[in-house]
Structure 1
Amino acid sequence: MRYIVIGAGAVGGTIGARLYQGGQEVLLIARGPHYEALKRDGLRLVTSDSDEILPIPAADGPVPTRDDDVLILATKSQDTIAALAPWSSDLPVVCAQNGVANERMVLRRFERVYGMCVWLPAQIPAPGVIAAGGHPYSGMLHVGRYPQGVDELSEQIVTDLGKRGLVARSWPDVMRWKYGKLLGNLANAAEALIGHVPALTDLAQRARSEAMTVLDRAGIAAVTPAEEAEIRGHNVDSRPIEGIERSGGSSWQSLARGSGTIEADYLNGEIVLLGREHGVPTPVNEVLRREANRVAAEKLPPGSMPAERVLALIDERSAAGSR
């Protein structure tokens, strides 16, 4: 079985590297300077206690596929459709992405779709280099068939992922875990907008509380922080890597790269969508979604928006909604 990692960035690159180290056949799909570095030098995987160059094959676009290929999609959610468009719909797809919308989008075209809930702190400090900060394991990955269940392939994927440097588990209700992860990811936009200031904790909690009301009204189950803590334990503690400064989360990194896009529509925007469908106001998540998109489009750096301005906009939105 060959794993084709579409979007071999921080998360995808780490997953691909660990699969390769575990003896699996892997192909990394990347683009731009990152692809050029992977093709020329291989993937350099740096952790708190290791620094290794792995000669993993890389490509910058579709390649001839085989019947035993498995696609691991690790792009941002806004790139899902474009990233999968060139690939055969006969292949199974594992959505190793934040948010809960990707699996349903992919299922429109691909029959075999698997959800993956990813806990994996990593970043790209330079093209071709992945800094994986999780310790003692680089990441914990929950895998299950979408919309629910497990099968022979999902069990094989879990086995392969667990051979080197990752903890993998099989869950028939994987989307419940992904909704739990979504609640935590609602803080991504806030972190990207205002940075690590005291107001961040309160703003993140307000976004989460609002979302929990929405999920409850929609009848959607999500794992609790207690469940997450029990399963995660200290398997993926974040540990500093010498010589590499730890940046913010995935949305922070999008702004830092000046990519022009951000995932907010599929994180905070998911709560806004559900709120509109079920008649629940969502001023906190709506403002975070809207402002994150604006800042990304204007290519402003992370932390460029005063917390007071974000809070004022939320108050304005709340007041407008109550009239």
Structure 2
Amino acid sequence: MRYIVVGAGAVGGTIGARLHQGGHDVLLIARGAHYEALKRDGLRLITPESSETLRIPAADGPVPTRDDDVLILATKSQDTIAALAPWPSHLPVVCAQNGVANERMVLRRFEHVYGMCVWLPAQHLEPGVVAAHGYPYSGMLHVGRYPQGVDDLSAQIVTDLGKRGLVGRAAADVMRWKYGKLLGNLANAVEALAGRTSDNGAVAERARAEARTVLERAGIAYSTPSEEAEIRGHQVDVRPIEGVERGGGSSWQSLARSSGSIEADYLNGEIVLLGRLHGVPTPVNEVLRREADRFAREKQPPGSMPLETLVALIDERCAA
């Protein structure tokens, strides 16, 4: 079986590197300077324990496919449709992404779709270089068939992930875990806008409380922080890496790269959508979605909005 990692950045690069180290056939799909570096020098994976350059095949677009290919989609959610457009629809797709909308989008065209709940603290440092901060394992990955179940392929993927540096878990209810992860990811926009401070936790909790009300009204099950802590234990602790300054999360990194887009529509925006469908006001998540989108569009630097300004915007919206 060959794993084609579409979007070989922080998460995709780490997953691809670990699968390669486990002896599996891997192809990394990347663009621009990152692709050129992968092709020329290989992928450098830095962890709390080591730094290793891996000669993993790379391409900057679709390649002739094989019957045993599996696509691991690790792009941002806003890039899902464009990233998969060139690939044959008979291939299985594993959505290794934040949010809960990707699997449904992909299922419109691809018959075999799998969810992956990703707990993997990593960052894309520069072209060809990825840092994975998890220790003793780089990440824990729940995998299951979408919308429900575990089949032979998902079980094989879990086995393959577990061969080197990752913990794979088969999860028939993978979307329940992804909804739980979504609740945590609502704080991404707060960090991206106002930076990582001890004071922004109150805003993040307001967004999560709003979201829990929405999910319960919608009848959507989600994993809890206590469940997640029990399963994870100390298998994926975040450790410093000498010489590597740890930046913010995925949304913070999008602003830092001035990419022009951000995942907020599929994180905070998912709660706004569900709130509108089920008649639940979601002013906190609406402001976070709106302002994160504006920052991305205007290429504002991460953490440049005073927290007081963000709180005032939220309070104004709540009072409207």
- State the alpha-carbon separation in 1 of the partners of residues 281 and 180 from structure 2: 20
Structure 2, gaps ≥5 residues long:
none
- State the alpha-carbon separation in 2 of the partners of residues 222 and 11 from structure 1: 23
In the TM superposition, what is the alpha-carbon distance from 1:315 to its structure 2 partner?
1.1
In the TM superposition, what is the alpha-carbon distance from 1:124 to its structure 2 partner?
1.4
The answer to whether 1:224 aligns with 2:224 is: yes
Greater mean deviation of Cα atoms: 146-155 or 191-200: 191-200
SS in 1 for 2:14: helix
- State the alpha-carbon separation in 1 of the partners of residues 102 and 126 from structure 2: 28
- State the alpha-carbon separation in 1 of the partners of residues 4 and 90 from structure 2: 14
Q: What amino acid is the match of 1:228?
A: E
Structure 1, residues 10-58: CA drift from partner, whole Å, max 9, x if none? 0000000000000000000000111110000000011111111100000
In the TM superposition, what is the alpha-carbon distance from 1:308 to its structure 2 partner?
1.0
Q: What amino acid is the match of 1:287?
A: V
- State the alpha-carbon separation in 2 of the partners of residues 315 and 119 from structure 1: 32
Alignment of 1:221-260 (within 5 A): 221-260=221-260
In the TM superposition, what is the alpha-carbon distance from 1:306 to its structure 2 partner?
1.0
Alignment of 1:184-203 (within 5 A): 184-203=184-203
The residue number in structure 2 matching 1:51 is: 51
In the TM superposition, what is the alpha-carbon distance from 1:197 to its structure 2 partner?
2.4
The residue number in structure 2 matching 1:145 is: 145
- State the alpha-carbon separation in 2 of the partners of residues 126 and 13 from structure 1: 12
Structure 1, gaps ≥5 residues long:
none
In the TM superposition, what is the alpha-carbon distance from 1:215 to its structure 2 partner?
0.3
In the TM superposition, what is the alpha-carbon distance from 1:84 to its structure 2 partner?
0.1
The residue number in structure 1 matching 2:265 is: 265
The answer to whether 1:62 aligns with 2:62 is: yes
The residue number in structure 1 matching 2:291 is: 291
SS in 1 for 2:189: helix
Structure 1, residues 146-189: CA drift from partner, whole Å, max 9, x if none? 00001000000000000000000001000000000000000000
The residue number in structure 1 matching 2:214 is: 214
The residue number in structure 2 matching 1:106 is: 106
In the TM superposition, what is the alpha-carbon distance from 1:199 to its structure 2 partner?
2.6
Q: What amino acid is the match of 2:228?
A: E
Q: What amino acid is the match of 2:208?
A: R
- State the alpha-carbon separation in 2 of the partners of residues 308 and 37 from structure 1: 41
In the TM superposition, what is the alpha-carbon distance from 1:302 to its structure 2 partner?
0.3
The residue number in structure 1 matching 2:80 is: 80
**May I ask how many residue pairs the two structures share in their alignment?**
320
The residue number in structure 1 matching 2:159 is: 159
- State the alpha-carbon separation in 2 of the partners of residues 69 and 277 from structure 1: 37
In the TM superposition, what is the alpha-carbon distance from 1:198 to its structure 2 partner?
3.2
Structure 1, residues 237-274: CA drift from partner, whole Å, max 9, x if none? 00000001000000000000000000000000000000
Structure 1, residues 99-130: CA drift from partner, whole Å, max 9, x if none? 00000000000000000000000011121011
- State the alpha-carbon separation in 2 of the partners of residues 253 and 136 from structure 1: 24
SS in 1 for 2:62: coil
TM-score, normalization: structure 1?
0.98
TM-score, normalization: structure 2?
0.99
The residue number in structure 2 matching 1:177 is: 177
What is the identity percentage for the equivalent residue pairs of Structure 1 and Structure 2? 82
The residue number in structure 2 matching 1:127 is: 127
In the TM superposition, what is the alpha-carbon distance from 1:309 to its structure 2 partner?
1.1
Structure 1, residues 212-231: CA drift from partner, whole Å, max 9, x if none? 00000000000011100000
SS in 1 for 2:237: strand
Structure 1, residues 254-310: CA drift from partner, whole Å, max 9, x if none? 000000000000000000000000010101100000000000000010011111111
In the TM superposition, what is the alpha-carbon distance from 1:316 to its structure 2 partner?
1.2
The residue number in structure 1 matching 2:33 is: 33
In the TM superposition, what is the alpha-carbon distance from 1:196 to its structure 2 partner?
1.6
- State the alpha-carbon separation in 1 of the partners of residues 136 and 165 from structure 2: 8
